[in-house]
A and B are shown apart, each in its own frame.
Chain A
């Protein structure tokens, strides 16, 4: 287990370094930062000035090394638009986004597990077909469109939930549904496929022959073994939910990292954008590492492959 852990950890660090370098380069190459910084109607001397003040005239590698060392020391730089410390800005808003991502995930799991299990227990029945249809339709609905339908329903027809802001837990209900429904089909398909496979194995037949109740067989014996692929998908989907929060937070005026990212991107506030992209990538790398380790612990066969 130690060798496996070290190997995965080393890979995660390499990926993190590569991602941060790429995020840095990508934003530098796609536009002239100095021009963006100097603002509209700036003279060429102004732009040159900005270039020197921010050290943008130095080689890219030097700039990157400088940026990454400072970040490692906790100095994420200054926001150009908000005129404040980037780290403080992000740290302020991260809890909101983390909460949104976790709630969305819980919603997705709460929907997909029962449906996936029922669909697997009665394969090819009408209920299985209904679940698959729901999954296909759900995945075709753009999340911002679905979010607006929710807003419309709850603002006009059924005004019991707030549709904008982030003051109380109630403000998280609609955004979590709007973000979570999109990942539910993937979980449902995985739970269904895993359960169908496990339910066909010999040890389940043995459990049945021994007279165990159907509930006990399904929930205690089958579900546990269908969980392994779900753990890996959870990490991937959490990363997706963090990224997808840009759209949903902007629509519901939820004051999180996604909304901050949108504001920073619209204002070409590159230090903030770079920091958020890098941070979310690091979180994703950390989550997949955790999932790898959990799976390596659940199933020793994974450790040697």
Chain B
């Protein structure tokens, strides 16, 4: 028996070894090294010869805090996450309610259509939307012209560039959260609605007092995931605006990419990466706390 247990444990370690090895070597170690890197002046000269590397303490972080470009990237990314995220969640919820409506026919068809943008390649659809946003011949302005709205230079106007990226992000992503919301809606017990009806609640009141509270855990999960995704904004500005016009769509990851892989300021770029990580952890913690606070209120 003992021997059997030993052989089981031995097999287990053999089975987990490849996965643990890969994760340790290619995720863990680089993240730790990234923190170390952020305290050095690793640049083009160090890429050529590691002897040029110097430890500069918190130097990169002080530079970062005084860098208007970093603050700009941070503001832009926060804009994208805090405006785009909730909008995207709202659209997902609306789509889920539509697809899941009792009267709706052909549910799988609608679900598939709304989900389709999720599986498309971000770079490819960003290229497509770049042309859709063309000020003169783009489809978006043509549609708006029917409604009598004067053409907008979506990607060329610093005021409109970020909303344009948010538009693409909502279109690309709402189907994913919709699927999760539909599952959440379907797990609400029917007797809750029956009870509400008996109490004389109308459609809006059942939605307000049954659907929304029951859906709250799902909504929090979805909000956290959407925000984490939003903070990693990169391909859209890379393809559509290169961070412009006048840095209006420069994101934190785009800044990291440019500093690290264009200018080879890797120490500085690592500091940017860790600032992003801190932001992400703070955001997640904040939402968890919010969830707990509202959860207690609801109970």
| Chain A bound to chain B | no
* Residues of A that sit less than 8 Å from B by CB: none
